Amino acid sequence: MSLSVKMQRSYKSKNGNRTFVYAVSGKPSDLEAYKEAQGEFYRVDDKTNEPLWFTTRCIGKNGTLIITDNGNVVPDMSEYDEAASLAEQYGGNLGEMLAREAAQRLLGGNRKTSSAPTPESTADDDDIE
């Protein structure tokens, strides 16, 4: 089963809790399983008719949902858990670097994979016509 989620918006509830709203997508059979698992909490977007998932814990711009054996819908946080474990395991500067790289990747940030200069940055001003 593979249910993907993409953040649509967030808002503060009347209780003052930050709530994150994700659009849910997947194969029709997976979406039907999601609908069944959500029961009375199943909601769809008024404009797009996409199923929605609400949570008070941000999981980034995109993610994956799992339906547990008990029928609960939860985010797949295994990549976050792996990143936290590696950062803790190595600690120090290496752990901090691993944590930063993982956070950039998981949160969809742009990150440079190499510190090598690009061809544009090595060109002399005389080379530009």
Mean model confidence pLDDT for the chain? 83
Judged against a pLDDT cut of 80, whether residue 20 lies above it is answered with: yes
pLDDT at position 109: 54
Confidence of residue 120 (pLDDT cuts 50, 70, 90): very low
How many secondary structure helices (H) and strands (E) does the chain include? 4, 6
**Kind of pairing, strands 43-44 and 51-55?**
antiparallel
Average pLDDT, stretch 79-97? 80
Confidence of residue 85 (pLDDT cuts 50, 70, 90): confident
pLDDT in tens, 23-42: 999 999 999 999 999 999 99
Average pLDDT, stretch 95-121? 60
**Distance (Å, rounded) from C-alpha 20 to C-alpha 1?**
23
Question: Percent of the chain beyond pLDDT 70?
Answer: 83
Measured CA to CA in angstroms, residue 54 lies from 7, 10, 113, 114 at distances of 10, 9, 33, 37
- Domain regions of the chain by residue span: 3-76, 77-110
**What are the tokens at 86?**
């590696």
pTM equals: 0.71
Confidence of residue 77 (pLDDT cuts 50, 70, 90): confident
